[in-house]
Amino acid sequence: MTKAHGFFGLLSSMTNSILVSMILVVTIVAWAQRATRRMQLIPGRDQNVFECIVEGLYEFFEGIVGHHMIVKSFSMLASLFLYIVAANWFGLLPGVGSIGWREGEEFIPLFRPTTADMNTTIGLAIVFMVFWFIWTLQEMGLISFLKHLFGVKGGLKGFMAVALMPIFFFVGAIEVISILIRPVSLSLRLFGNVFAGENLLATMVSLGHELHFPTWLAHLCSVLIPVPFYFLELLIGVLQAFVFALLCAVYLNLSTSHDEAEAENH
């Protein structure tokens, strides 16, 4: 009885965003397993599409983070990109955000785009920053990382190094603040664009009714007017996923690229 109560309690506390997240994860994993279940020298359609996406993402991110770091970070960067694309496109399916129930005057949708939920975008950003911190310390070490932030740069030595030390320490403090702000900027950028797109489509659908057109014309406008914005949102869905994953790769490159260059010299 306790287990059953806990299970149903978990279901009752599940939000529409968590439900959509579970659907997306299961769908992506099922598609990947289906595409790679029977790998062939001459790939079929599913395998060909999967290999094209993975190879394209791998080469793109490798050009940013470098050959050494791509081995560690590719699964994270590719997963972020694919999940965000799937989440953004899922929000454009008919019924998402419009099928649900009312509790008093509030409408509760059954499905909601996960990237239009601030909790999800913050979670994605924090998870990446945790891995970023771990990978950075693995590559540089704690002492080298602190020297990179607060140490004197430019090869200065002697009196000039001592004289400029407070300035470089102040610059390092600003860098620490910028690192702490990264999860906020990543999550707000993604959330803001997806949430704005969601509201834009809702506005276009109801535009005819808001302008008090005749009923038949308002219904026609609710079908025709959103079409160009719908395809625009398809493009923006990919673009926002690309920007999020790209910024993550750039942040990783900034903290590990110089270490990789030293390793190559040796």
pTM metric for this prediction: 0.81
Q: What residue type is 257 in one-letter code? A: S
- Average pLDDT, stretch 107-127? 85
Query: Kind and range of the H or E element at 107?
Result: strand 106-109
Give yes or no for residue 260 having a pLDDT over 60.
no
* CA atoms of 48 and 40, how far apart (whole Å): 10
Distance from the Cα of residue 62 to its chain's centroid: 18
Q: Give the residue from 207, 208, 196 showing the smallest Cα distance to 232.
A: 196
Torsion over CA: 134, 138, 143, 147 (sign): negative
Question: Tell me, what DSSP letter sits at residue 103?
Answer: E
Q: Give the residue from 172, 182, 176 showing the smallest Cα distance to 147.
A: 172
Query: For residue range 135-178, what is the model confidence (pLDDT) as tens digits?
Result: 999 888 888 888 777 776 666 566 666 676 777 778 778 888 98
Torsion over CA: 203, 209, 212, 217 (sign): positive
Number of domains in the chain: 1
* CA atoms of 61 and 42, how far apart (whole Å): 26
State which residues form the domain around 66: 2-265
Query: For residue range 214-240, what is the model confidence (pLDDT) as tens digits?
Result: 777 777 777 787 788 888 888 988 999
**In percent, how much of the chain has pLDDT > 90?**
28
